[in-house]
Amino acid sequence: MRTVHFGLSSTFSIIPSAPFNFDGTFHKPSHCPAPLEAWERGKYWQALRVGEKIYGLRIVNRGSRAKPRLGVSVFGRGKIGKKERDAIARELEWRFDLASDLREFDRLARRDGGLRPVFRRWRGTRDSSALGLYELLVVSILLQNATVRRTVQMMNALLERFGTRVSFDSKTLFAMWLPAAIHDVGEDELRKLRIGYRARFLKRVSDDFSRGVIDERSLRTLDENMARRELMKLYGVGPETARILLYPACHRATLLTHIAPWQQKIYSRLFYARRRVPARKIQGDLNRRYGRFATLAVNYVWEDLFWRREREPIPWLEREIRL
DNA sequence: CATCAGGGCCCTG
DNA sequence: CAGGGCCCTGAT
């Protein structure tokens, strides 16, 4: 594993569409904790790959919900040109959905009696993904049949072996490897990192990405059903992993199509204040209530719960998620 | 100590 | 379409 040290290369601003919620957009407490990003109130850091190149990024909130503005500092080796800067800005706009139009969802959320406080608290929050498609796919594969603790172990083992440690602005974060880096590594060598049968998935998927079998760019233009179908063609991607990848892949909210048993238990508490409601009923009810924004609505309520968990222990939740 | 299920997927029959 | 197998870990 190599370490790179970056200095300040460039700064610029991005104006997201209003309303915008900085912390809700840049910090997702329900996500699997990995040393790929860092957050504190109003500030966010990550190592970002654009093509082959790695940059260190610091993003600072310099606006408000109604008049949003982001201060972006790019860390790298030497100066960067306007073209490079624009490419970074465009990638950030995509990943964090900075230009998204949330007006219709806002109207819908305001009509929701019981959950209005939640929607109001997070108003302007984007569903977003700090990671690129391949990177997120790696995380999703490691989540399969594993607790979060174990996923983190596997992730760290892989990052130590294949990742790049990026040191900038007094932070040290990892950038993930490129798919091609796994190409020449044997499956048994991956297994030594204790990722088990997932080694086969990781290898096949890395090969597919490095050979360009899947095109992240064109996936971004597809509607949700086409995108889901494309994702499920990938080896190791079934209904649950496709659900996780769908938003990052094409940035469309959609109807709920799949509720896993552990999610069912949590949704039962959140939406019905009961222990266990049949998954089919939950899916039907939420789809009727929020229509094509169902996944986004669930996302707000879900993240709100995990924000609460960061402040105070939630015993019933701890039992369900077994960290 | 041993056994087993787990935030899923692929493959086989 | 149902069900076995896959790795490893932690719970029992």
Distance A285 CA to B10 C1' (A): 32
pLDDT at position A85 is: 97
pLDDT at position A322 is: 63
Q: Please, what are the domains in chain A?
A: 3-99 (3.30.310.20), 133-163+176-250 (1.10.340.30), 261-321 (no CATH)
pLDDT at position A323 is: 60
Q: What is the pLDDT of residues A187-233, one digit of tens each?
A: 989 999 999 999 999 999 999 999 888 889 999 999 998 999 999 99
Distance A296 CA to C10 C1' (A): 34
CA distance A198 to A145: 10
Per-residue pLDDT of chain A (323 residues; tens, 9 = 90+): 789 999 999 999 999 999 999 999 999 999 988 899 999 999 999 999 998 899 999 999 999 999 999 999 999 998 899 999 999 999 999 999 999 999 999 999 998 878 999 999 999 999 999 999 999 999 999 999 888 888 999 999 999 999 999 999 999 999 999 999 998 899 989 999 999 999 999 999 999 999 888 889 999 999 998 999 999 999 999 988 999 999 999 998 889 988 887 888 889 889 998 888 888 889 999 999 999 999 999 999 999 999 999 998 888 888 777 66
What residues form DSSP beta bridges with A167?
A5, A172
pLDDT at position A313 is: 82
| CA–C1' nearest nucleotide, residue A322 | B7
Q: Which of A6, A40, A7 is nearest to A22 (CA)?
A: A40
What is the phi/psi pair of residue A317, to 5°?
-70, -40
Q: Which of A261, A270, A306, A307 is nearest to A289 (CA)?
A: A270
Cβ of residue A196 lies below 7 Å from strand C: yes
For chain A, give the longest Cα–Cα distance.
57
Alpha carbon distances (Å) from A307 to A165, A192, A244, A310: 28, 35, 19, 5
Nucleotides of B under 7 A from a protein CB: 6-11
What residues form DSSP beta bridges with A55?
A48
For strand C, list residues 200-259 of chain A whose Cβ lies within 7 Å of it.
200
Distance A58 CA to B7 C1' (A): 31
Cβ-count burial of A241 within 10 angstroms (0-12 exposed, 13-18 middle, 19+ buried)? buried
Query: How many of the other CB atoms lie within 10 Å of CB of A90?
Result: 13
| CA–C1' nearest nucleotide, residue A198 | C7
| CA–C1' nearest nucleotide, residue A239 | B8
pLDDT at position A259 is: 84
